[in-house]
């Protein structure tokens, strides 16, 4: 039997007892440590490298969401499932943005904890029934519609920080990511991913992280000043198929992050940038991938620089 090592983090001892008693119903789940504050959770995660961390939000010293962000850096292979009394959409979104795969409202833990644990261990997202009516962004889940999103960028830091978070989340949850960026950005992104704890060399070797030169891609797909649909889909399809095969989940979710449209707008090629956005909309639907396109802030309606 392959055991799953679990770190339980909550400042209320009776709740920790309840959680551990629930875990005992599955003999492969072993609670190897219990802690009561967020800072200690980060320290134990770094020391023990548990397979799963059950984490509360309202913790002393360091709250659960900030703790999760630090845990992603010191123990990137550990999967995180939040157990919290909070049920607001903003709180759930914040938890997901920190790198967690699941969120269970404590009131529903009796019926949802073990199914949530199973889902998260399999690399699938689990959202408690009390908050499933909301739509959460940044989740890696086959049940969530695939889509094309615009990322307003005021500077390089916004692009790199967001791409780093999205790529790390995808690869760390057993999925895969494709990035289309300039050579300078590719080098900086690699540094940030490694600092976040992602083994980029291994991800590249396994095929779960594919980095492409955006200028070379644009040169290959442009015809008469506009992106050619046949070249666009023909060029990206092979990479998507390769990433899907390399992913470690049964229903892989592929993320494509690019700055192609931003470069076209920067060169004054607005028609080409608009056409590319239209093709990315189709790409998300046809190939079932999540597409994140960087755009200058001035190009995004309703967003001021």
Mean pLDDT of 213-228: 96
* pLDDT tops 60 at residue 252: yes
* pLDDT tops 70 at residue 144: no
* pLDDT tops 70 at residue 57: yes
Cα 289 from Cα 147, distance rounded (Å)? 7
Cα 49 from Cα 75, distance rounded (Å)? 6
The dihedral built from the CA positions of residue 70, 152, 126 and 77, taken in this order, carries a sign that is negative
Instruction: State residue 145's pLDDT score.
Output: 53
Instruction: State residue 148's pLDDT score.
Output: 84
Cα 191 from Cα 249, distance rounded (Å)? 26
Structure-token pair, residue 299: 């190009």
Task: Report pLDDT digits (tens) over 196-209.
Answer: 888 999 999 999 99
Domain 4-131 identical in fold to domain 148-299 = yes
What residues form DSSP beta bridges with 96?
A: none
Contacts of 235 (CB under 8 A, 6+ apart): 217, 220, 221
Q: Are 76 and 102 in contact (CB under 8 A)?
A: no
The domains of the chain are located at 4-131, 148-299
Structure-token pair, residue 249: 């989940």
The pTM score is: 0.56
Cα 83 from Cα 49, distance rounded (Å)? 19
Tokens 């690699």: give the residue: 190
Task: For domain 4-131, give the fold.
Answer: Rossmann fold (3.40.50)
Mean pLDDT of 156-172: 87
Cα 28 from Cα 7, distance rounded (Å)? 14
Question: What CATH number matches the domain at 148-299, 1.10.357.10, 3.50.50.60, 3.40.50.620, 3.40.50.300?
Answer: 3.40.50.300
Cα 130 from Cα 282, distance rounded (Å)? 33
* pLDDT tops 80 at residue 132: no
């Amino acid at each position: 039997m392959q055991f799953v090592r679990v770190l339980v983090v909550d400042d209320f001892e009776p709740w920790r007892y309840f959680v551990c008693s629930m875990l005992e119903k599955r003999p492969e789940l072993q609670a190897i440590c219990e802690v009561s504050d967020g800072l200690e959770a980060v320290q134990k995660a770094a020391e023990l490298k548990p397979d799963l961390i059950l984490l509360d939000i309202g913790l002393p010293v360091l709250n659960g969401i900030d703790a999760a962000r630090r845990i992603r850096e010191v123990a990137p292979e550990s999967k995180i499932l939040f157990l919290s009394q909070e049920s607001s959409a903003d709180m759930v979104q914040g938890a997901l943005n920190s790198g967690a795969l699941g969120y269970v409202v404590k009131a529903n833990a009796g019926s949802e904890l073990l199914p949530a644990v199973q889902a998260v261990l399999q690399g699938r997202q689990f959202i408690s029934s009390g908050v499933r009516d909301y739509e959460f962004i940044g989740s890696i889940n086959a049940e969530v519609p695939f889509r094309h999103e615009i990322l307003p960028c005021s500077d390089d830091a916004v692009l790199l920080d967001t791409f780093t978070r999205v790529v790390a989340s995808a690869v760390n949850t057993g999925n895969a990511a494709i990035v289309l960026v300039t050579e300078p950005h590719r080098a900086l992104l690699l540094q940030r991913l490694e600092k976040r704890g992602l083994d980029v060399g291994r991800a590249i070797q396994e095929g779960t992280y594919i980095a492409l030169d955006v200028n070379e891609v644009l040169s290959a797909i442009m015809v008469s000043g506009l992106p050619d649909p046949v070249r666009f889909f023909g060029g990206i399809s092979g990479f998507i198929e390769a990433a899907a095969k390399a992913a470690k989940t049964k229903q892989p979710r592929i993320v494509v992050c690019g700055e192609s449209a931003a470069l076209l707008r920067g060169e004054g090629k607005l028609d080409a940038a608009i056409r590319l956005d239209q093709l990315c909309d189709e790409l998300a639907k046809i190939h079932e991938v999540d597409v994140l396109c960087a755009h200058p802030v001035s190009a995004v309606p309703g967003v001021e620089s």
